[in-house]
């Protein structure tokens, strides 16, 4: 698990679990999406218990609040509350010839590992970049979150589809307004 900067696995995992719970597809099984996210980020490779899913859903809500913070000081306050309850056991490990940091032992339960990795990853991003790299999608009816890894930190949407949907809606609204104005007696 890569743990440095805004491209860290802890930060990516935070985005994945928040979006598993807050995703826009009402038909999606958030429990299955949570399991998929934990598998993709190497946290675990087994089915989650109902209790673990409930714990991850609650944690996703806390993380969503951090992404939605209006300022770095608000984000720091929220993260400090999370860091206050997360027990970390940092250690260095070597996967693939590269040393990196883990925040919870491999034998820890999935919720503990997720909490430690995501809280520490977001804390590092917040310290290094403030809220400039963290956000909630600006598309209507979307609560998904993102980490902006672009050079200019101008991202505002969780995906291309949300950006396109928003831009098309704005274009249509402008066209309708222009047509209404043109049809006014002059």
Give me the torsion for CA of 131, 133, 136, 138, rounded to 10°.
110
Kindly report the pTM of this predicted structure.
Answer: 0.86
pLDDT of residue 18: 97
More confident residue, 105 or 21: 21
Distance CA 18, CA 63 (A): 7
Q: Is 90 exceeded by the pLDDT of residue 134?
A: yes
pLDDT of residue 113: 93
* Over residues 124-134, mean pLDDT: 93
Residue 17 burial (CB < 10 Å; 0-12/13-18/19+)?
A: buried
Q: 1 pLDDT band (50/70/90 cuts)?
A: very low
Q: What are 15's two structure tokens?
A: 């985005």
Residue 132 burial (CB < 10 Å; 0-12/13-18/19+)?
A: middle
Distance CA 9, CA 3 (A): 6
According to DSSP, the β-strands at 134-136 and 145-147 are antiparallel
């Amino acid at each position: 698990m890569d743990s440095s900067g805004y491209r860290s696995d802890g930060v990516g995992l935070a985005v994945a679990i928040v979006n598993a719970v807050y995703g826009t597809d009402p038909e999606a099984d958030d429990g299955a999406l949570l399991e998929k996210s934990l598998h993709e980020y190497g946290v675990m490779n087994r089915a989650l218990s109902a209790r673990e899913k409930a714990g991850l859903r609650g944690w996703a809500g806390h993380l969503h609040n951090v992404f939605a913070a209006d300022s770095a000081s608000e984000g720091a306050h929220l993260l400090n509350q999370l860091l206050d309850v997360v027990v970390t056991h940092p250690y260095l490990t070597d996967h693939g010839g590269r040393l990196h940091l883990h925040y919870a032992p491999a034998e820890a339960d999935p919720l503990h590992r997720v909490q430690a990795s995501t809280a520490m990853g977001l804390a590092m991003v917040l310290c290094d970049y403030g809220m400039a790299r963290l956000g909630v999608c600006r598309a209507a009816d979307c609560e998904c979150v993102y980490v902006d890894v672009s050079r200019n930190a101008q991202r505002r949407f969780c995906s291309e589809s949300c950006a396109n949907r928003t831009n098309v809606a704005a274009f249509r609204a402008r066209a309708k307004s222009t047509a209404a104005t043109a049809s006014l007696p002059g």
